[in-house]
Amino acid sequence: MDWGLKNRLSRIIKSDGKTVMLAVDHGYFLGPTTGLEDAGKTVKPLLSYADALMPTRGIVRTSVDPATDTPIVLRVSGGNSVLEEDLSNEGLTVSMEDAIRLNAAAVAISIYVGSPNQKETLLNLTRLIDKGHRYGIPVLAVTAVGKNMGRDTRYLALSCRIAAELGAHFVKTYYCDGFEKVVKTCPVPLVMAGGKKLPELEALELTYNAIKRGAAGVDMGRNIFQSDAPVAMIQAVRAIVHDNATPQRAYDIYNSIKAASKRGKKSKLKGVTASKQELSKH
Ligand code: R5P
């Protein structure tokens, strides 16, 4: 691996070998996803807690503070939409030059192994990796599961291994029973996608299980930004990924940050009411 590529990857996967990536790219095929209707408002309070942010280029340009230190893992595949039965018809949506213009630390592409567009999505991955090597930009392969595709160990291990064999620098996949086999047979770091919104404790248990079974971290979206308290939730996830917290300890962290922020909001409101009363005296 070239120095520039290693350097970019080390901004995403920290020195403990772990990362908490915040995925906010859902709109590229889902449109205005719950929690991301105003992506800028959602991202702003979470950005400093994320080791990396995974958006589309439209969201970067419209909704992310350019002064941020948080590295961007740019989604560069798309062309599909949730209205189609088969989601696998994806192409490359961003040139490497534009990714560099946006100072992306890495680029991300979905692959659809076993789908009608398997070959095209895998060749898009290899084209992207070749360009990534030219400029020192790492490539994240996302093993998309589509609407009709399985999520078992055999399928996910196959997809992750193919992505790594074709040269992906890191891989994102779903949790499954036998996840340790998926991790062991994938020679590059593997991050877990969160999936659909779960109750907070369950999402923390999922995170814990993935880390225990060898994941290099998470690339989590809905279980953070659709939480009742997203800022508390991302810190709870961090406690598991970086500090080996148990799910229960992380859940306690979540609840205490959530309660403190509610108290903070109440006292701010009280402050406003008090100053309004002061003003009305004059
Ligand atoms: C989906 O293809 C996107 O890449 C999302 O970033 C991914 O699904 C992770 O988000 P979530 O944790 O909401 O599943």
SS3 state of residue 60: helix
Identify which of 142, 151, 170, 218 to mutate to test ligand 1's pocket (most ligand atoms within 8 A of the CB): 142
The residues near 236 (Cβ < 8 Å, ≥ 6 apart) are 200, 204, 245, 250, 251, 253, 254, 257
Q: Is the CB of 151 under 6 A from ligand 1?
A: no
Q: How far is CA 196 from CA 34, 58, 174, 206, in A?
A: 11, 23, 11, 12
b/e burial code for range 105-116 (CB count within 10 A of at least 16 → b): bbbbbbbbbebe
What is the pTM assigned to this prediction? 0.93
Q: Is the CB of 138 under 6 A from ligand 1?
A: no
Tell me the domain boundaries of the chain: 3-281
Q: What is the mean pLDDT of each run of 10 residues along the chain (282 residues)?
A: 95 98 96 97 98 98 98 97 91 97 98 94 98 98 78 93 98 96 98 96 98 98 98 98 98 97 76 50 44
Residue pair 73/56 in contact (Cβ under 8 Å)? The answer is no
Residue 279's pLDDT is 44
Active-site residue flag, 172 = yes
Tell me yes or no: is domain 3-281 CATH 3.40.50.2300. no
Residue 13's pLDDT is 98
Q: Is the CB of 224 under 6 A from ligand 1?
A: no
What's the CA-to-centroid distance between 196 and ligand 1, angstroms? 9
Give the separation between CA 17 and CA 84, rounded to whole angstroms. 38
CA atoms within 13 A on the CB side of 122: 17
Residue 145's pLDDT is 77
Q: Give the position, in ligand 1's atom list, of the atom nearest the Cα of 110.
A: 2
Q: Give the position, in ligand 1's atom list, of the atom nearest the Cα of 174.
A: 14
Q: Is the CB of 193 under 6 A from ligand 1?
A: yes
Query: Which residue type occupies 1?
Result: M
Active-site position among 172, 181, 197, 281:
172
Residue pair 245/237 in contact (Cβ under 8 Å)? The answer is no
Residue 123's pLDDT is 98
What's the CA-to-centroid distance between 73 and ligand 1, angstroms? 13
Give the separation between CA 269 and CA 70, rounded to whole angstroms. 31
Q: Is the CB of 142 under 6 A from ligand 1?
A: yes
Residue 32's pLDDT is 96
Q: Give the position, in ligand 1's atom list, of the atom nearest the Cα of 220.
A: 12
What does the DSSP assignment read for 25-44?
-THHHH-S-TT-TTHHHHHT
CA atoms within 13 A on the CB side of 191: 32
Give the chain's radius of gyration (CA, Å). 20
